[in-house]
Structure 1
Amino acid sequence: MGDYGYSIEHILMVDIIPDPAVRSAMNEINAARRLKLASVYKGEAEKIIQVKREEDEAESESKYLGGVGVARQRQAITDGLRDNILDFSHKVEGTSGKEVMDLIMITQYFYTIKDLDNSSKNTTVFIPHGPGHVRDISEQIRNGLMEASSAQLNFG
């Protein structure tokens, strides 16, 4: 073209059509790349699912063991309470199990008030206090326990 006075410096090529074999090879390369990426994503997803499953199993086992621990703690408290009542009623003649339970409940009541005082920061708790109120609380607890046990007998 230079002979005719033209000089081509840039050409805009819009539609390149390579040989069908080259086009097929390029498509296979892209497909392989996508399959490789898909397998990586699938592996990551399976790994996440496995980790979640193991976390769920660990949490379930933790809750189960926590429940077993609480049950053992309550059993130990019950056993200790029973032993204390029996020891006290044998060592102090003329006392009944009811009197010992009343004494234990009053002691627990005072411990509860003490714990409220020690643990509360800016909270005010109004608790009726006096010998009559402690007896009322004791009777309410005892009545609740008796009603619960009679309900179990009726439905059991």
Structure 2
Amino acid sequence: MPLYIIIFVAVVLLFLAFFTVKQQSAAIVQRFGKFNSIRHSGLQLKIPFVDRIAGVVNLKIQQLDVIIETKTKDNVFVKLKVSVQFKVIPEKVYDAFYKLEYPHDQITSYVFDVVRAEVPKLILDDVFERKDNIAVAVKRELNEAMTTYGYDIINTLITDIDPDIQVKNAMNRINAADREKVAAEYEAEASRIRIVAKARAEAESKRLQGQGIADQRREIAQGLVESVDILNKVGINSQEASALIVVTQHYDTLQAVGSDSRSNLILLPNAPSAATEMLSSMITSFAATSKLKETDEAFKRDNEAKKRKDNKKDQEM
């Protein structure tokens, strides 16, 4: 046999004898169809045509997303997305390779089973609030089942809860109505505060206005008293002094009205005798009031005397 053929065969056999295994992987070597060994990362050796690599097991953490549609306790259909993070246990590579052919399908089946057992116990609002409890239940059930097959469940997460579109629209309307209700309550409260503040301001304004009018009238009365006293000192009696003051104020009023070019006020009557008539009316009114007051006091005195007389008779009896 030529030497180059021998060298070629030797190179081919050498090439077939060596193989490499990637990091975070494990190779299953079979000899004549029977399990022989598990080879880890690095350069490995096998017997050509006798040993063969049956498969490679990934030791990295993997993630499987499972979407499940189920119904809640209040008869709302909802879709849940469950993310399962798992990996093969390095010490159980044999079980992971030979005991379970389709691990993803097995994990999906367990996730469906647990979620469809837990979610129908809860109403929709509780599903959102207790999603972590559902994830814990899924992880617990998966760990119990998948450890036997050499898989370790790292974590389970419920990453999405998607109710039916009509339910979401109804929830949005309810939320919007609640916010509008709160906004209306705040607006009503603000309006009430404005009304109360305005009423208080008007009341304070009226009080100050009344106080100002009272002060003004008090000063006017004081000025009239002083004017009468001054006129009395120069020999003018009280009635004449009052008439003089009324006439003076009457003409002052006419002058004030006439000085305003934009005024359309007409003061009637405006004859010189008007002041005298006004004074006579005032004197008559004051006299009538004084007489009525005296009559009322006399009537009260008679009633009191009669009551005392009746009480005395009752005591004598």
TM-score, normalised with respect to structure 1: 0.70
Q: 1:127 aligns with which of 266, 269, 273?
A: 269
Where does structure 1 lack aligned partners over 5 or more consecutive residues?
Answer: 1-18
The match for 1:42 is: 185
CA–CA distance in structure 1, aligned partners of residues 194 and 212 of structure 2: 26
SS in 1 for 2:208: helix
Amino acid across the alignment from 1:58? A
The match for 2:218 is: 75
Q: CA deviation digits over 1:125-154, x for unaligned, max 9?
A: 663634x55433321222123323444555
1:20 aligns with 2:162: no
CA–CA distance in structure 2, aligned partners of residues 46 and 78 of structure 1: 47
Identical pairs, percent: 21
CA–CA distance in structure 2, aligned partners of residues 30 and 70 of structure 1: 59
1:124 Cα offset (Å): 6.2
Q: CA deviation digits over 1:1-57, x for unaligned, max 9?
A: xxxxxxxxxxxxxxxxxx623134443332112111211111111111111111111
**8 Å Cα contact 2:257-2:265 kept in structure 1:** no
1:118 aligns with 2:175: no
- Check 1:20–1:148 CA distance in 2 against 1; reply closer, same or farther (3 A cut): farther
Taking only aligned residues, the RMSD between alpha carbons, in angstroms, comes to 2.8
If you compute each CA radius of gyration, which structure gives the higher value, 1 or 2? 2
Q: 1:137 aligns with which of 263, 266, 278?
A: 278
CA–CA distance in structure 2, aligned partners of residues 65 and 78 of structure 1: 20
Q: 1:86 aligns with which of 229, 232, 240?
A: 229
The match for 1:103 is: 244
Structure richer in strand, relative to its length: 2
**8 Å Cα contact 2:228-2:242 kept in structure 1:** yes
SS in 2 for 1:95: coil
The match for 2:204 is: 61
CA–CA distance in structure 1, aligned partners of residues 77 and 259 of structure 2: 86
- Check 1:46–1:155 CA distance in 2 against 1; reply closer, same or farther (3 A cut): farther
The match for 2:64 is: none
Amino acid across the alignment from 2:195? K
TM-score, normalised with respect to structure 2: 0.37
Structure richer in helix, relative to its length: 1
Q: How many aligned residue pairs are there? A: 135
